[in-house]
Amino acid sequence: MAMNDHTLSWPTGPVLRNVAALVRYRIGETSSTLRLTEPNCPIQAPGLQAFWRQEPAPNGYQFWLELTASGEAPIYLETTDVLTARAPDLGAPPATWRVYQNGWQSWSPTFVRHLEGTRYADPGTPEYRAAHQPHWEPDYDGLISSEWVAVLFAPPATALLLGFLTAKDQLAEIRLRADGSELTARCHLDSVLLAPGASLRTEVLWVAAGPDPLRLLEAWAEAIAREMGARAPHPTIGGEAATEGARGRGESPPTGWCTWYYFYGENTADDILDNLRAIANHRLPLDVILIDDGYQTAIGDWFSIQTDKFPDGMEPVAEAVRAAGHRLGIWTAPFGAAATSQLFATHPDWVVRDESGAPVVGWVHWGVPCYALDCTHPEVLAWLEETFRRMRREWGATFFKIDFLFAAARPGRRYDPTATRAQALRRGVEAIRNAIGDDAFLLGCGAPLGPCIGLVDGMRIGTDVDPNWHPIFRYDLSAVSTENALRNSITRAPFHNRLWLNDPDCLLVRQRGPDLDLVLNEVRTLTAVIALLGGLTINSDNLALIRPGRLKYLRQALPPTGISARPLDLFEHEMPRLLLLPVERDWGRWWVAGVINWEDRTVETPVRLIDLGLPAGRYHVFHYWRRRYLGVTDDTVILRRHQPHETAVLLLKPVSDRPDLLTTTFHVCQGAVEVADCRWDETHHLLYIALEKAGVQYGEVWLTAPEPWETIEVRVNGERHPWVSPAPGILRIGLTLEGRSEVTARFRKR
């Protein structure tokens, strides 16, 4: 790679020409634009000194701007383009490009957009712009905006990443004209005041290139996590190790039960107690009991409890949750004050105001406007801290879901005129973090992603799941639906265990009926994707009424692995179809693939081992949902009747010349969490398997016994146990796993 004059280039990669930086600012009523074309050379303009910094970085460069108000008058900073350039030369016409487009907040559409033939349609409504397009302007048509990071990919092997490595102080985006004519990395300074002599630094931009766009995206997530002190552990798989398998189980994310997706805020205290009893009766290993929206009388009045639902207040319910051995989780929307709330009536000066002095609406909640709290106001920050301290102290809550966080980043006038929208949001989240303590779990939702890194433990990374598969308006990728929730969860999979623990939203497993329109294949797909992505696993059915047989799907997703499958075809399809989880343990190595059919029709789907990146060799193939051994292949598996919205979960394990564990059916990831040990005793020709899993569950253990081996006996917990042979050289052993079980199989050579 080289930098000559205004050009960035890489020996075998892209070229960027006419590279420059821009600063837009105002002194009094005079607006100015300063263009910088030479890095590491300070420029003096009327009232402003600008320094465009550039340093080498892995596979590319880092850029940022340092700005100082050098005159006697204050200046107002609007936007800075840390880098702007002509269309990059990726070795292919723009019409063939794919662009990773990251949405602003949790629910914003995120996917790899094809510049020709995209499924994305901009609804163009004021509501959509307010929720998902924080930098909207009249020339937005023909503009692709990706928040904080974008990866441009020209198949088959040219990728360019632009990603900000810091995100505490400014909202930032990557802009690309759909015709490929212009590329910009912009920081938004929101017209903040810079007093004479004061200085400011933009966020740091990383520009990198390489042949693998998914690797670049993962590398960016790891880099910003390091820079911002992300609370999630760095993954045990990353870089080259990602192709070799998950060597450890990772940190197991929270599990739990949530009130929302059955009761939708209408639950009573008795409903929660009924579900507590059901969890105990079914012996479900769920930790958190999350009381979602609907307990409060108004947004902002968090200790004013609806007495018709909670006649004795929150304390008895909280005590019952703790007494049952669970952690109490509480939902809030902390940066809003409903127009009908006591909070707003008492403190109208606490909200963000527009230029006319009217309160800024953060969002409309069930028909009621909720005004955006000004998180630069010291009294607001003190109130936030006291509110969350009380929830922890009086209710014993240790899991906090904070929702609609984008309200704190609404445009408007704030108490502190030097604070950006990003800083206002971060100050609010910091106040909550300080109040709840380092040992509580903080889950962000409806959150602008960047400023929350380093403060939250988990993050919702998609829309709400829904009783319906498709959204009502089919091409609104932000609309609530299970399809949209899963797409975002897959396309943001690289963030898991790097920026935070991903929350794909709740798992619904109840039978189809008036309150759920998901068919069995759709429930299985929801289960499979949540299990393969390894993040938070929280159920939201009425467990007191659910048909017990449906609970097997919940059990098969518990506990979460903590390790995310990789969306291998992320840059091939706008709806990724192929997830792969490599697993490696001391006793073996295998791969679990999720193959998704998003179509509304049955298709034939070939799965090639070369596309999975598996080493050359022969592999056993097991179809998880159909409990079917598909034989051995060294090339391709063909799913001949891949049904609508079905995710075929395939286990692929190298063929061994001795008896071996093939798979278990207690978890979608088939041994990644429930197999505690597996040993082959060559002297006694004995295969030993130890299973450990909380709760009680029926499942199967499948073994291979290739020629010339034959089975003498099978024992479960020391007792002789029957088995069946569904195919030559294959054994299937059914058993109920209750905490721990030991399976032994003895063989001899013919």
Q: Determine the Cα–Cα distance for residues 549 and 547; give it in Å rounded to an integer.
A: 6
464 carries an active-site annotation: yes
635 contacts: CB under 8 Å, gap ≥ 6: 608, 609
| For residue 156, cis peptide bond before it (omega within 30 degrees of 0) | yes
Kind of pairing, strands 730-749 and 709-716?
antiparallel
Question: How are beta strands 60-69 and 48-57 bridged, if at all?
Answer: antiparallel
Residue 403 known to be catalytic: yes
Q: Which of 292, 464, 476, 541 is catalytic?
A: 464
640 CB-contact burial (10 Å; exposed 0-12 / middle 13-18 / buried 19+): exposed
Which of 190, 403, 466, 541 does the annotation list as catalytic? 403
Burial code of 330-350, b = ≥16 C-beta within 10 A, e = fewer?
Answer: bbbbbbbbbbbbebbeebeeb
Of residues 579, 580, 645, 634, the one with CA closest to residue 610: 634
State whether residue 747 is helix, strand or coil.
strand
Instruction: Give burial (CB, 10 Å; 0-12/13-18/19+) of 122.
Output: middle
Gap between the Cα atoms of 13 and 210, Å rounded? 7
The one-letter code for the residue type at 423 is Q
According to DSSP, the β-strands at 199-201 and 182-194 are: unpaired
Nearest alpha-carbon partner for 407 in 359, 457, 347: 359
Nearest to 162 by CA among 170, 152, 171: 152
Angle at 635 between CA 630 and CA 641, to 5 degrees: 45
Would you give the DSSP letter of residue 15? E
Specify the residue for token string 């692709």.
Answer: 144
Two structure tokens written together for 88: 């990059």
The number of beta carbons lying within 10 Å of the beta carbon of residue 283 is: 14
Residues 6+ apart with CB under 8 A from 29: none
Name the one residue in this structure whose structure tokens are 């017990």: 548
Residues noted as catalytic: 403, 464
